[in-house]
Amino acid sequence: MMRYVLGLFLTACALLASCSGLSAAEPLYQTYRATADKLIGAALEDTGGYEKLAFLCDRIGNRLCGSSALDRAIQWAAAQMKKDGLENVVTPAVKVPHWVRGRESASIMEPVQRQLHLLGLGGSVATPKEGITAEIVVVGNFDELERFGRPAVEGKIVVYNVPFVNYGQTVQYRSHGASRAAKLGALAALVRSVTPVSLQATHTGSMNYDADAPKIPTAAISIEDATLIQRLVSAGNKVVVHLAMEAQTLPDADSANVIGEIPGREKPEELVVIGGHIDSWDVGEGAQDDGSGCITALEAAALIKQLGLKPRRTIRVVLWTNEENGLAGGKAYREWIGSNLAHHTAAVEMDGGAEKPVGFGFSAKGDNSREDASIARLQEIGKLLERIGAGEIRRGGGGADISPLTSEGIPSLSLQTVGVRYFDWHHTEADTMDKVRLEDLRLNIAAMAVMTYILADMPETLTTVEGAQ
C-alpha cells in the first residue's frame, strides 16, 4: 500500500515537472545518452581519422612556419573540411615568424673526441661561420649558474644538465637558459633535452632572448650527451666543445588559420570552438604534436555531420597556425572574431597527443560558484564517457591557442590523456605516425565528439549555467 501511494505521488511529480517545463533540468547524461552512444559507436569503428592523420604526417610531413609543407597542410585541411561537409570554410591570413635551422653540429674536442647529438632551439641565432670552440661549464639549475657567476662563466659554453621534473617546470631552461648564461658572459648555451626519457633523441622547442642580454646560440643535446659531459667534468676534466650553427630568422612569412563549421540549427550565432595547431617543429612528422589534435577535432566534426546530428549552436573547427614559435595564429583568431567573442560559449583545445584519453580539463574566469556549476554540468557529460574511460573532469584546462579566449572569460577545456609517453616524443625526429595508436585515436575522437556535440546542443551554456541538479 505504502509503495502504491508513493508510486502515485512520484507519477504526479513527474507529470507536474514535465508540464511546468522543469524537465529541462533533466541531467545531461539522460538527455544525451542515446546520442552519445551513437557517436562513441561511430568513433570506435572510425578509419577516416587515422587515414587523415597518416596523410598529414606521411605525405605532407613536418610543418614549421614558413615551410612549403605548412602551406600544403593548410590547403589540404581546408579541402578536407569541405569534403567532410563542413561549411563556411575559410583560411584567414596570418603573418608568422620564419626561422630556419640550417646545418648544425657539435663535438667534444677535449678530453675525448666525440660527436654530440644536437638540435638547435627555435629562434636561436647562428654561431660565427667558424663555429665556437670553448670550455664547458655544467650547471644543474639557475641558482648554481648564479653561484658560479661571471668569473666562471665568461667566455665559456654553459651546459644545463637539468633532469626533467615536469614540462612546465623544466622548460624554463630551454626558454631562458641562453639569456641567463649570456648575462654572465657565456658564448653559447646547450640544454639537456626537456624529456624524461631519451634514446639519444634531441628535443627542440622555442626559446626567447631577453631584450637586455646578448643573443648567443643555443641548442638541445640528448640526455646521454648531457650526462656524459657531466661525468667528464665531475671527474675533474677540462671539457672543450666545438659548436657550429647556421640558424637564422628571415622576414615574417604568410600563413593562415583553417576554419570550418557545422552551423547551429537554432542559435547559429553562438559557437563552440574546437581544434589544435596545424604547425609543428621541423623534425619528425608532428604526429602527436599536434597532428593528432587537429585530426581528432576534424574527425569529431565529420562524425557529427555523418550521423546527421544538427546541434543547437554552431560547432567551429579551428586549426591554428604558429603555436610552436609565436602563437600568431591564436592571437590572429582573437582579432578575427572581434566582438563575436561574446558568442563563444566554449573553446576546446587538444594539444597533448592522442594517448588513451582520461577526460577533460576545465578553466573558467569568473566567480567560483559559476565554475563549480560548470564543472557539475561537465561531470554530467563526463558520465557518458565513463564507458570508454574518458569521463574525468579536472580543474585546469585550455591550451596555448585558445589562451586569448580563456583570458577574456570564455570557458576553456582541453582533452586530457594518460600522458605517459608524450614528452618522450615531443619536438623530436621520433614524433612520427607509428606513435599514434589507432584504438587511442578513436577514443580521443569519441571523447571530443561527445563533449563538443553536447556543449553545442545543451539548453544552457557553461556561461549561463546556474547550478547543477
Centre a 10 Å sphere on the Cβ of residue 97 and count the other Cβ atoms it contains. 22
Contact region with Zn ion (CB under 5 A), list: 128-136, 196-204, 214-222, 284-292: 284-292
* Helix (DSSP H) and strand (DSSP E) numbers for the chain: 14, 18
Nearer to Zn ion, 323 or 457 (CB): 323
- Whole-number minimum distance, CB 265 to Zn ion, in Å? 33
Q: Residue 438: what residue type?
A: L
The whole-angstrom separation of Cα 44 and Cα 72 is 29
- Whole-number minimum distance, CB 374 to Zn ion, in Å? 25
Residue 340 DSSP label: G
Residue 38: which residues within 8 A CB-CB, separation 6 or more? 307
Site for Zn ion (CB under 5 A): how many residues? Answer: 3
Nearer to Zn ion, 285 or 457 (CB): 285
Question: 3-state secondary structure string, 364-411?
Answer: CCCCHHHHHHHHHHHHHHHHCCHHHCCCEEEECCCCCCCHHHHCCCCC
When asked if residue 289 is in the footprint of Zn ion (CB under 5 A), the reply is: yes
Residues 28 to 57: which contact Zn ion by CB under 5 A? Answer: none
When asked if residue 299 is in the footprint of Zn ion (CB under 5 A), the reply is: no
When asked if residue 290 is in the footprint of Zn ion (CB under 5 A), the reply is: yes
Chain centroid offset of residue 290 CA: 6
Say which of 323, 324, 355, 380 is annotated catalytic: 323
The whole-angstrom separation of Cα 218 and Cα 233 is 20
Nearer to Zn ion, 277 or 377 (CB): 277
- CA atoms 391, 397, 399, 405: torsion sign: positive
Residues 351 to 370: which contact Zn ion by CB under 5 A? Answer: 351
Contact region with Zn ion (CB under 5 A), list: 195-203, 350-358, 391-399, 448-456: 350-358
- Whole-number minimum distance, CB 103 to Zn ion, in Å? 26
Nearer to Zn ion, 136 or 332 (CB): 332
Contact region with Zn ion (CB under 5 A), list: 66-74, 116-124, 197-205, 286-294: 286-294
- In this structure, are residues 301 and 262 in contact, taking their beta carbons and an 8 Å threshold? yes
For cell 661525468, what's the residue? 231
- Whole-number minimum distance, CB 65 to Zn ion, in Å? 13
Contact region with Zn ion (CB under 5 A), list: 102-110, 138-146, 287-295, 434-442: 287-295
When asked if residue 104 is in the footprint of Zn ion (CB under 5 A), the reply is: no
- Whole-number minimum distance, CB 96 to Zn ion, in Å? 15
74: cell is: 593548410
The SS3 of residue 6 is: helix
Is 269 marked active-site?
no
Residue 55 DSSP label: I
When asked if residue 431 is in the footprint of Zn ion (CB under 5 A), the reply is: no
Nearer to Zn ion, 311 or 361 (CB): 361
- Whole-number minimum distance, CB 327 to Zn ion, in Å? 11
Residue 426: which residues within 8 A CB-CB, separation 6 or more? 167, 194, 195, 203, 205, 288, 289, 353
Nearer to Zn ion, 311 or 329 (CB): 329
Closest to 298 (Cα-Cα) out of 319, 314, 284: 319
List of residues contacting Zn ion (CB under 5 A): 289-290, 351
Active site residues: 323
